[in-house]
Structure formats: structure tokens, C-alpha cells
């Protein structure tokens, strides 16, 4: 049984110009493990060829043998941790993808989702392309290979001008590493420096682990080229648009010690809690969090409301993604194996429970009942984000809309389903305000307003492979 949480698709890490490139990439992926737990891989370059090691499993398991690194020589490497949203969870889909084509060898690691992937794949297959994986990332490789431009940088730019969606990409060849962030800037990507080497990572916590200096974020629509002379070149090969970074990175995905989109995640989450207390205060005796992502918001809520914060739910950190349920009936087994209430803190109390989101509602229902069974007199549920009513198409694994409880139920209906005494969600305005940032965000999972429109399926047979006149409609 899986306790449902939205899952990030993946994280990427790359280093160029360091003698321990593969080892440091391993550490970087370790720091990014929260962004994907299904598979991982590293491709290194020794200046004459590319070398890969990738498998299904966690970073510590896939790279647990030191001898693995003897097969990953060189001063440059890129790595990837994956949770599948586009493409099945199978060995052939483990990234980075590494291929040989007419102009040499190249490896690619991708964080995000392409909304026109099916359309482009149908075009490419009509012209004879054969796909080895079911990932949208492979489409980028095919577009790069058929590009009529000359330099690698031009071919990458040409390919990415054909795709639409979210992407943070790392490319590695025998002599170069290239990093690209999509013009909308949906997913975070940062730049660091370690000695004479350059580092690129999905989150700054990966830089901290290897003691690299945080330089800046990779800008939306920016391409960085790293070459063997130690230089870095910055280009902006795409039409400039208003960035719309994913606001749910602040709510749940990013590690609290990371800095993304110009802000520290922990501080933003505390402010989400403070704003939630301003909007939905309640008379209570104790504030507790659903660990781990709800903890900073709960602390902020408690501070603003003047109610003590306690660790009323203890998480078992040694539970994997799957486990075997006992034959005998244990109520709420899936939640109980991961969370356990502290009865001494909850019994006879009016309890505020803080969580980051309610998706299907089943987990929240079990948590509320667990807190009541521990003796709580009242249970008040508070959510540090607005209702999640729409699926994400930009690299987050969410259910389809009919499975999202807030898409078809009122606030009071959800409250009654999860059996809470009261329920309050943070408003969209409060969410944006809590970030302290002025620019636009992607809030599609709350509002249904998608920054990138979706291609019409009927276009597939009409389009030429090199046409530039696609028309798009909103789904």
C-alpha cells in the first residue's frame, strides 16, 4: 500500500572540471534523493568517451560499491534521480540517457515534463525514428539528432524550440557540459563553484553537501556552456517570456534547507504557517505537524497563533516506498507504519494538525482518526496551500482530476469526509504573499490556469516534421 503524496519527477546534478566528478555527483544525487526514489544514474566523461552506471533503486544502493566509480573516470559527470511521471518505471527508462549518433556521443538528464511529447513522438516515428524508451526525454535526443544546424549549441537550441513544457536539462559530451532551464522556469536549477570546477544542481542543498559555493540560479530560458578551458558561456536562445516557477516547490517538493527562486524554502514554509494562522485561527491547546513537510508551517502557525507546538506525530524514517501488510486486520495500517501519535501530548487536548496538502483525502482521514484515537478532544485540520483541484502536467505525479477530492467536493464535504472538527486551506493570495516574491507563479494545480497550452491531438497527421506553425488550445 502506498500513502499518496504528489511526487516530483526527478532531480539533476552535474559537475565539470573536477578530478572527483563521479564521486561528487554521487553525493549530489544523495542530497537530491527526495526528488526521486525509483532509479538513479551517473554518466562521466574522461575527455575521450562517456561512461555510465545506472540502475533501479536508491542512490546508496545503486552506488554502494566503491568499485563502481572506477568505471566512471574523468573530470565531468552528470547524474539523475527519477520518479516516473512520463514513461514507465522500468530499467530502460533510467537516466541519464546516453547515445551515440552521427556527430559523437551525448548524455542527457532531464527534470520536467513535455506537454507536446505525444505529438512530437508521432511525427518523429512517421519519419522513421525508433524509440528505445517511453520517456519524453528521448524526444529531445531525436530532435537534436535531426537538426539541420551545425554546432551542438545550435542543435540543442533548435530541438528545445520545438518542445513545450517544463525542463531542466544537463547535456554531457566528451568535451562539454551544457545546462538549460526552460523559459517558464518551472523547476529550480542553481549554479555553483567548487575549486576550478562548475556545478549545476536542481537544489542548493546539493551544493552544500559537497561544500561548493552557491553562485546564482540558472535563469529561466538560459543555456550555460562549460568547456575544458574552465570557462562558462551564458546564452538565451529562446523568446523571452514571463517566468512562472512552480509554487508547489515551496509547499512540498524542495528540501527546506534549499534556496530556490531567490528564497529559502524553510523560511517560506514558516511564513505559509503564519499566514494560515491569520486566515484560519482557532482556539486550541496544541499545534502538531504531519511530518516532515508540514513541520515548518506548523511552527509558523503556532508562533502566529500563540499556541504551543509539539511533535505529536512521530515519523518512522526507515520505511521504504512499499511494504507487506499483515494478514490480520490492522486499522489504518499504511499510516500507522509511517506515523505514530504521542498520546501523552494529545490526550484531552484541542489539536490543530498542519499538513501541506490534501489530495485524495484518504491519508488525511486516517491521520485525523489516529489523532482522535490518541485521545484528542477536538481535531482541527489546517492546510498550508489552497485546495489541489487540477492535475499537473509539468513534472509532478498527481492523479487525474476526478481523483482529487477538492475538484468535486465543497470545503464542508471534505471536512466531514476526513472527520475533522474544522478545516481551513491557505488562500491562493496568502500563498503567493507568503513567498515574498512579486513575480508570477504557476498555480495551475490550484486554479486550473495552465501557463502552457496543450496541443490538439488532431494536429498529429497534419504537421510536417520541421513546421513552425503549431496551434495550441487549452485543455
The CATH code of the domain that includes 117 is 3.60.20.10
- Helix residue spans in 150-230 (DSSP H): 152-160, 204-209
Cα–Cα distances in Å, from 43 out to 19, 37, 135, 196?
14, 18, 18, 20
Instruction: Answer yes or no: is pLDDT of 464 > 50.
Output: no
Instruction: Answer yes or no: is pLDDT of 55 > 80.
Output: yes
Mean residue pLDDT across the chain:
89
Instruction: Answer yes or no: is pLDDT of 328 > 70.
Output: no
Cα–Cα distances in Å, from 231 out to 107, 186, 227?
20, 27, 6
**How confident is the model at residue 9, as a pLDDT?**
66
The annotation status of 246 as a binding-site residue, yes or no, is yes
The annotation status of 40 as a binding-site residue, yes or no, is no
Judgement on whether residues 233 and 280 belong to the same structural domain of the protein: no
pLDDT tens digits for range 1-10: 334 444 446 9
The DSSP result for 261-294, as a single string, is: TTEEHHHHHHHHHHHHHHHS----SEEEE-TTTT
Write the CB contacts of 304 (distance below 8 Å, at least 6 apart in sequence): 273, 274, 277, 278, 281
Q: What band does 438 get if pLDDT is binned at 50, 70 and 90?
A: confident
Instruction: Answer yes or no: is pLDDT of 232 > 90.
Output: yes
Residue 220 and residue 183 in contact, taking contact as beta carbons nearer than 8 Å: yes
Q: In this structure, what is the dihedral angle of CA atoms 98, 99, 104, 108, given to the nearest 10 degrees? A: -40
Instruction: Answer yes or no: is pLDDT of 15 > 50.
Output: yes
Query: Which neighbouring-strand residues pair with 191?
Result: 200, 216
Instruction: Answer yes or no: is pLDDT of 287 > 80.
Output: yes
468 in any annotated domain: no
The annotation status of 392 as a binding-site residue, yes or no, is yes
Q: How far apart are CA 361 and CA 405, in angstroms?
A: 6
3-17, 166-180, 422-436: range with lowest mean pLDDT: 3-17
Judgement on whether residues 231 and 275 belong to the same structural domain of the protein: no
Provide the number of structural domains found in the chain: 2
112-126, 312-326, 443-457: range with lowest mean pLDDT: 312-326
Write the CB contacts of 299 (distance below 8 Å, at least 6 apart in sequence): 270, 273, 289, 309
Percentage, residues of the chain above pLDDT 70: 89
Judgement on whether residues 155 and 293 belong to the same structural domain of the protein: no
Matching residue, cell 511564513: 271
Q: What band does 13 get if pLDDT is binned at 50, 70 and 90?
A: very high
Strands 350-355 and 286-289: parallel
State the SS3 of 210-243: CCCEEEEECCCCCEEEEECCCCEEEECCCCCCCC
Judgement on whether residues 173 and 291 belong to the same structural domain of the protein: no
- C-alpha cell of residue 210: 559537497
259 in any annotated domain: no
Judgement on whether residues 409 and 441 belong to the same structural domain of the protein: yes
Residue 249 and residue 423 in contact, taking contact as beta carbons nearer than 8 Å: no
**How confident is the model at residue 455, as a pLDDT?**
67
Q: What band does 472 get if pLDDT is binned at 50, 70 and 90?
A: very low
279 in any annotated domain: yes
Q: How far apart are CA 121 and CA 131, in angstroms?
A: 9
Residue 265 and residue 435 in contact, taking contact as beta carbons nearer than 8 Å: no
**How confident is the model at residue 204, as a pLDDT?**
98
**How confident is the model at residue 319, as a pLDDT?**
64
Q: How far apart are CA 237 and CA 232, in angstroms?
A: 16
Cα–Cα distances in Å, from 375 out to 115, 303, 315, 369, 467?
48, 24, 19, 10, 65
- Provide the CATH number for the domain around residue 440: 3.40.50.2020
Positions of E strands within 3-70: 7-8, 10-16, 39-45, 50-56
**How confident is the model at residue 244, as a pLDDT?**
96
Q: How far apart are CA 86 and CA 137, in angstroms?
A: 9
Instruction: Answer yes or no: is pLDDT of 88 > 70.
Output: no
Q: Which residue would you say has higher pLDDT here, 23 or 82?
A: 23
- The per-type count for the chain, helices as H runs and strands as E runs, is 15, 25
Write the CB contacts of 467 (distance below 8 Å, at least 6 apart in sequence): none
Judgement on whether residues 77 and 13 belong to the same structural domain of the protein: yes
**How confident is the model at residue 335, as a pLDDT?**
78
Mean pLDDT of the 145-150 span: 89
Rg (CA), the chain: 23
Judgement on whether residues 184 and 311 belong to the same structural domain of the protein: no
Judgement on whether residues 139 and 175 belong to the same structural domain of the protein: yes
CA atoms within 13 A of residue 219's CA, in its CB half-sphere: 12
Judgement on whether residues 218 and 278 belong to the same structural domain of the protein: no
Mean pLDDT of the 264-269 span: 98
**How confident is the model at residue 101, as a pLDDT?**
85
The annotation status of 293 as a binding-site residue, yes or no, is yes
149 in any annotated domain: yes
Among 397, 332, 378, 33, CA closest to 202: 33
Read off the pTM: 0.89
Residue 450 and residue 389 in contact, taking contact as beta carbons nearer than 8 Å: no
Judgement on whether residues 215 and 305 belong to the same structural domain of the protein: no
Q: What band does 471 get if pLDDT is binned at 50, 70 and 90?
A: very low
Mean pLDDT of the 183-203 span: 97
**How confident is the model at residue 193, as a pLDDT?**
98
285 in any annotated domain: yes
Q: Is the sign of the CA dihedral 235, 189, 43, 229 positive or negative?
A: positive
Residue 288 structural domain: 267-317+330-447
Q: What band does 223 get if pLDDT is binned at 50, 70 and 90?
A: very high
Q: How far apart are CA 392 and CA 401, in angstroms?
A: 10
**How confident is the model at residue 469, as a pLDDT?**
35
Residue 133 and residue 121 in contact, taking contact as beta carbons nearer than 8 Å: no
pLDDT tens digits for range 332-375: 666 778 899 999 999 999 999 999 999 999 999 999 999 999 99
454 in any annotated domain: no
Active site members: 10
Judgement on whether residues 150 and 42 belong to the same structural domain of the protein: yes
Judgement on whether residues 277 and 191 belong to the same structural domain of the protein: no
Percentage, residues of the chain above pLDDT 90: 73
324 in any annotated domain: no
458 in any annotated domain: no
Mean pLDDT of the 289-308 span: 96
Mean pLDDT of the 29-38 span: 94
The secondary structure of residue 458, as a DSSP letter, is G
Q: Phi first, then psi: what are they for 335, rounded to 5°? A: -75, -40
Q: What band does 286 get if pLDDT is binned at 50, 70 and 90?
A: very high
**How confident is the model at residue 474, as a pLDDT?**
29
Amino acid at each position: 500500500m502506498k500513502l499518496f503524496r504528489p511526487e516530483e519527477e526527478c532531480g539533476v546534478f552535474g559537475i565539470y572540471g573536477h578530478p572527483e566528478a563521479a564521486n561528487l555527483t554521487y553525493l549530489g544525487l544523495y542530497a537530491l534523493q527526495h526528488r526521486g526514489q525509483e532509479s538513479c544514474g551517473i554518466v562521466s566523461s574522461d575527455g575521450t568517451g562517456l561512461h555510465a552506471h545506472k540502475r533501479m533503486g536508491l542512490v546508496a544502493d545503486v552506488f554502494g560499491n566503491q568499485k563502481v566509480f572506477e568505471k566512471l573516470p574523468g573530470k565531468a559527470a552528470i547524474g539523475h534521480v527519477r520518479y516516473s511521471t512520463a514513461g514507465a518505471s522500468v530499467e530502460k527508462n533510467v537516466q541519464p540517457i546516453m547515445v551515440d549518433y552521427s556527430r559523437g556521443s551525448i548524455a542527457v538528464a532531464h527534470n520536467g515534463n513535455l506537454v507536446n511529447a505525444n505529438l512530437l513522438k508521432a511525427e518523429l516515428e512517421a519519419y522513421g525514428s525508433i524509440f528505445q524508451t517511453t520517456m519524453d526525454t528521448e524526444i529531445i535526443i531525436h530532435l537534436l539528432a535531426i537538426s539541420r544546424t551545425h554546432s551542438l549549441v545550435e542543435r540543442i537550441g533548435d530541438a528545445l524550440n520545438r518542445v513545450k513544457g517544463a525542463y531542466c536539462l544537463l547535456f554531457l559530451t566528451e568535451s562539454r557540459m551544457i545546462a538549460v532551464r526552460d523559459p517558464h522556469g518551472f523547476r529550480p536549477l542553481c549554479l555553483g563553484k567548487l575549486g576550478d570546477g562548475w556545478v549545476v544542481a536542481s537544489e542548493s542543498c546539493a551544493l552544500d553537501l559537497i561544500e561548493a559555493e552557491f553562485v546564482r540560479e540558472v535563469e529561466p530560458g538560459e543555456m550555460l556552456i562549460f568547456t575544458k578551458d574552465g570557462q562558462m558561456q551564458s546564452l538565451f536562445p529562446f523568446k523571452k517570456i514571463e517566468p512562472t516557477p512552480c509554487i508547489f516547490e515551496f509547499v512540498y517538493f524542495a528540501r527546506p534547507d534549499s534556496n530556490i527562486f531567490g528564497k529559502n524554502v524553510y523560511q517560506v514554509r514558516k511564513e505559509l504557517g503564519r499566514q494560515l494562522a491569520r486566515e484560519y485561527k482557532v482556539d486550541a491547546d496544541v499545534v502538531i505537524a504531519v511530518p516532515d513537510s508540514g513541520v515548518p508551517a506548523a511552527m509558523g502557525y503556532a508562533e502566529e497563533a500563540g499556541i504551543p507546538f509539539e511533535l505529536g506525530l512521530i515519523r518512522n524514517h526507515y520505511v521504504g516506498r512499499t511494504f507487506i501488510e499483515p494478514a490480520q486486520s490492522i486499522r489504518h495500517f499504511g499510516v500507522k507504519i509511517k506515523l505514530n501519535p504521542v498520546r501523552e501530548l494529545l490526550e484531552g487536548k484541542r489539536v490543530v494538525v498542519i499538513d501541506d496538502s490534501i489530495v485524495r483525502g484518504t491519508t488525511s482521514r486516517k491521520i485525523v482518526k489516529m489523532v482522535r484515537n490518541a485521545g484528542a478532544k477536538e481535531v482541527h485540520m489546517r492546510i498550508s496551500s489552497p485546495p489541489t483541484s487540477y492535475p499537473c502536467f509539468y513534472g509532478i505525479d498527481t492523479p487525474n482530476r476526478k481523483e482529487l477530492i477538492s475538484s468535486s467536493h465543497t470545503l464542508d464535504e471534505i471536512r466531514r469526509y476526513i472527520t475533522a472538527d474544522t478545516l481551513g486551506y491557505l488562500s491562493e493570495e496568502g500563498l503567493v504573499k507568503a513567498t515574498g516574491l512579486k513575480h508570477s507563479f504557476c498555480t495551475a494545480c490550484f486554479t486550473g490556469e495552465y501557463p502552457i497550452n496543450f496541443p490538439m491531438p488532431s494536429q498529429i497527421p497534419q504537421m510536417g516534421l520541421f513546421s513552425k506553425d503549431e496551434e495550441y488550445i487549452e485543455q
